[in-house]
Amino acid sequence: MESMLNKLKSTVTKVTADVTSAVMGNPVTREFEVGRHIASGGPGLCWRIYDGTKKSTKQEVAVFVFDKKMIDKYQKFEKDQIIDSLKRGVQQLTRLRHPRLLTVQHPLEESRDCLAFCTEPVFASLSNVLGQWDNLPSPVPTDIKEYKLFDVETKYGLLQISEGLSFLHSGVKMVHGNLCLENVILNKSGSWKIMGFDFSISAANPSDSEPKYTCKEWDPNLPPLCLPNPEYLAPEYILSVSCDSASDMYSLGVVMHAVFNEGKPVFQVNKHDIFKSFSRQLDQLSTMSSALLNKIPEEVQQHVKMLLSVTPTVRPDADQMTKIPFFDDVGAVTLQYFDSLFQRDNLQKSQFYKGLPKVLPKLPKRVVVHRILPALTSEFVNPDMVPFVLPNVLLIAEECTRDEYIRLILPDLTPVFKQQEPIQILLIFLQKMDLLLTKTPAEDIKSSVLPMVYRALEAPSVQIQELCLNIIPTFANLIDYPSMKNALIPRIKSACLQTSSLAVRVNSLVCLGKILEYLDKWFVIDEILPFLQQIPSREPAVLMGMLGIYKCTFTHKKLGIPKEHLASKSLPHLISLSIDGNLNLNQFNSFMVVIRDMLSRMEAEHKTKLEQLHVMQEQQRSINISNPGNPSEEPKSQPSTGNQVRNLQALQLSLHSGVPRFAFVALAQLLPDVPSFASPQMSLTLEEKQRLAKEQEQAAKLRNQQPLAPQAAKQSAASNAQAKDLTSSLLNNMTSLNSLSLANAPRPAPVQGSTMAAFPSPGTMMGPMGAQISNGFNTPMSFQTGGMGMGMRPPGPAHYGAGMATTTSTPNFSAFNQHQGPNKTPDMSALDSLFKPSQPKVTLNQMGPKAPPGTNNTWLQQLGGTPNAQTQMQGAPVPLGGVPGGFGMQANPFFSPQNFSQPAAAASLNQSGVKHSSSVSGDLKDLFG
């Protein structure tokens, strides 16, 4: 790596040193920056060509440098001759101005070490391109080494040289005198330019119709740089010391031969014996064989043979050569027209630009990019020509790589993006939007392309708005969300509401439907769906577009409409739209399908929620029945002992008396939570006994007023009597207990669902196998006093949380006084199975009385649900917005709306004054199938 860096450093240092030594002290360096060595040209390729820029304007130029060290081997007078010859050639070129001659930007400057002048930007000389690399940098630049001339370049290049000679011969009355490959320069755009006027000869009588030229005799003793290239000279130069414009035409024939023969001239000349070589050459030209011209195209072989004729009068002149059929190639003519555009008016230019798209595919890419593109972009300064030029520029951009587009085209397009007049510019850009968004960098899209799209949505032309709405979905994925939310969507909504064109309104809805998937759920619900209710028109196409947006939002897996919005806004709006008189049967059916889907989804989701609430309430009620006490009211030291003791007491009493256990549990809740019922030795005051007697009388009245349940009517008389004895015994022993509860214990809050329906009688109860059962007076057992507010909701927080319904259930305990039958013993198997450890919790539905068969209660059915409700809800509830599968082309009704067609009968209806555009039928056909 270090060696590579050192090598690169040495190369850069060497190049810098060469440039510095070449132009050191030359006045050219005051105004121009000299860059790298790129080519060579001029007589004997003695001029080194560097790229450069003008310091003041940053204009690109080419700097020609002649290093005087190249002629150190000559004597001083020979050096002076060479310098004078080179100076003369540059000075002559500077005075001449023509598109086919190399343009001088800065005249020749001489310093002690070099000669230098500046021209238009140059690529290389024709000699370099054809393989002569003398005086080139080492290694040879890749672009020169791999350069290959295309046929159209060759044809048009030779045509340019012919036009340049025509200017010299007819306009200036001058003979070039040294036309060869070294003196033909290819500029940066690929045009062929003539230079090297070191040996040019002006006419002695320029005003005469037949000018006369005087040439110098060939002097073999002069240095080669002081003599023209003999291989391209006409024979009369050497043999008869005469020349005229026909001599340059002979040189053109040799140039044409060399171009088609890899840079090789017709004959090789022995410079040491020039006269003998030309004599031999003259004989060969007189009997020219066809093999000599076999590589030249057939359509021009005869013309080249005439140019190489020994007789000057046979040779075609320059003006005649420009008109030969060989140059009538469509590519050559196109390039020629571009070079003369400055002479054309706008009408001629517009006609030419209209036909150019047919020609561009036939031309090589390099020719198009380097020759035609600069000419096209230069027309952007003329607004009237932009609509004619822009399609061609975008056509070229399609063939360019992204880097070429950014480097060569985008800088010229950026100002055009901001032009609003003429309106066709927007239309052309919209048609090529995919190209712009694909190759334009993101920052330029945001700063230049998208603002142009926003302007198109607000354009006064309906055609522009329609086209813009149609193409927005194709690149919606490239628009960032803030821009879409704050800039694009508001303009689409505005275009839909404010337009008087039905096509624009329908296309606005279609556009919104296609870009819904790029929006946020709540933005759609808050901004898009309410916007639909603001649309005033009721044409079938508009109604179907609104239905499509509802359907897309409802079915999309990322969006979805909540059931609250469905019930309150979406369904009422859709139902009102569905009965519009303009809809046909298929369109009405489409509405009803969506409405039924929404209703089904809303029903399923809300029913699932209610069933889950019902299950939670039932579970809470079951917990309250099995453990009526409030856990918060238990003593802190023993949070669960009281419940366990009371449950054990209730179980013992129920087994002994045949009364269900929950009756004793309810009774236990009415007693104060004390360590024991009471002590038999505790004495009561007279007031306490009177108050106790009143409470007993009230309890007896309440017990006698309650109806008898069907189950209790079947109890035996013996068990009923035993239950009464137990109840009276318990009531007699409550005297001391109540005194203690009134005096010492705070009265707890009323317990929901408790009822003082029956009281067990005191006394000792015997369980199975003769074991004694506690009757409530034992020390470990304690009861909790209940309030008289039976059936009231406790003042504390509800069991089910905020927003849930709270129900109050008052069990009927009077059924315990019923008899099963006169001679039947109590059936305790139900209690045994009920209180097994593995028995699940008992719900209120299981404990309550069952309706006899055949009873049909509508209210009970509504509250309890249908028998198949649980079967229907076994599957997982479907979220409101959740639909399996993606959005895609198949699921989006805007991409496949088979039923969204507008009826022919309703097409003429226009209730809102919306104008029917001529393109509505086509748009609806594309939109709704």
Q: What is the mean pLDDT of the chain?
A: 73
Amino acid (1-letter code) at residue 191: S
Q: What is the per-residue DSSP string for 116-178? A: EEEES-EEEEHHHHTT--TT--SSPPHHHHT----HHHHHHHHHHHHHHHHIIIIII-EE-S-
The percent of residues above 70 in pLDDT, for the chain, comes to 67
Is 393 in contact with 408 (CB distance < 8 Å)?
no
Exposure string for 703-740, b = 16+ CB within 10 A, e = fewer: beeeeebeebeebbeebbebbbbbbbbbbebbbbbbbb
CATH value of 4-327 in 3.40.1160.10, 1.10.510.10, 3.90.780.10, 1.10.3720.10: 1.10.510.10
Is 231 in contact with 267 (CB distance < 8 Å)?
yes
Closest CA to 583 of 900, 304, 295: 900
Closest CA to 142 of 120, 123, 119: 123
121-164 residue pLDDT tens: 999 999 999 999 989 988 898 889 889 999 999 999 999 999 99
Q: Find residue 224's DSSP bridge partners.
A: none
Query: How large is the angle between the packed helices 386-399 and 346-359, nearest 10 degrees?
Result: 20
Note every long-range contact of 828-837, with CB atoms under 8 Å and residues 24 or more positions apart, other chains counting.
828/655, 828/658, 831/654, 831/655, 831/660, 831/661, 834/661, 835/651, 835/661
Reported as half-sphere exposure (CB side, CA atoms, 13 A), residue 388 has a value of 19
d(CA 257, CA 300): 10
Residue with tokens 């028998």: 867
User: Residues 6 or more apart from 463 whose CB is under 8 A from it?
Assistant: 427, 919
Residue with tokens 């809805």: 509
d(CA 692, CA 734): 8
10-residue stretch averages of pLDDT, the chain, 929 residues long: 48 45 79 93 94 92 94 91 94 94 94 94 94 89 90 93 94 93 93 94 83 87 91 90 92 94 87 82 79 88 91 92 91 87 84 90 90 89 89 92 90 86 83 84 84 82 83 79 84 84 85 84 84 84 86 83 84 86 86 89 89 89 72 43 49 47 46 41 64 76 56 45 49 45 42 39 42 42 39 39 38 40 43 41 42 40 37 38 42 51 41 47 43
* R_g (Cα) of the chain, nearest Å: 54
- The full set of domain ranges for the chain reads 4-327
Is 274 in contact with 230 (CB distance < 8 Å)?
yes
d(CA 717, CA 148): 125
Is 542 in contact with 577 (CB distance < 8 Å)?
no
d(CA 920, CA 588): 21
Instruction: Report how far apart, in Å, the C-alpha atoms of 764 and of each of 158, 615, 656, 657, 722 are.
Output: 136, 42, 10, 11, 12
Residue with tokens 């040294």: 178
Closest CA to 606 of 566, 563, 571, 568: 563
Residue with tokens 């060509």: 49
d(CA 198, CA 82): 10
Collapse the DSSP code of 797 into the 3-class scheme (helix H, G, I; strand E, B; otherwise coil) and give the result: coil
Q: What is the per-residue DSSP string for 757-792? A: ---PPPS-EE-GGG-EE--S-STT--B----S-TTP
307-364 residue pLDDT tens: 999 999 999 999 999 999 999 888 888 988 888 887 788 888 889 999 899 999 989 9
User: Residues 6 or more apart from 573 whose CB is under 8 A from it?
Assistant: 532, 533
Cα diameter, the chain: 169
Is 234 in contact with 243 (CB distance < 8 Å)?
yes
d(CA 19, CA 28): 13
Collapse the DSSP code of 211 into the 3-class scheme (helix H, G, I; strand E, B; otherwise coil) and give the result: coil
Locate 653 and state its tokens. 């009493």
Collapse the DSSP code of 820 into the 3-class scheme (helix H, G, I; strand E, B; otherwise coil) and give the result: strand
Exposure string for 344-374, b = 16+ CB within 10 A, e = fewer: eeeeebeebbeebeebbeebbeebbbbbbbe
d(CA 794, CA 797): 8
Q: What angle do CA 377, 379, 383 make, to 5 degrees?
A: 120
Query: How large is the angle between the packed helices 462-471 and 502-514, nearest 10 degrees?
Result: 20
710-762 residue pLDDT tens: 444 444 444 444 445 544 554 454 444 444 444 444 444 444 443 333 334 44
User: Residues 6 or more apart from 140 whose CB is under 8 A from it?
Assistant: 133
Locate 262 and state its tokens. 């890899």
Residue with tokens 């069907």: 710
Collapse the DSSP code of 96 into the 3-class scheme (helix H, G, I; strand E, B; otherwise coil) and give the result: coil
Q: What is the DSSP letter of 868?
A: T
Amino acid (1-letter code) at residue 853: P
Backbone angles phi, psi at 302, to 5 degrees: -65, -35
Q: What is the per-residue DSSP string for 286-331? A: HT--GGGGTTS-HHHHHHHHHHT-SSGGGS--HHHHTTSGGG--HH
171-196 residue pLDDT tens: 999 999 999 999 999 999 889 999 99
Is 52 in contact with 137 (CB distance < 8 Å)?
no
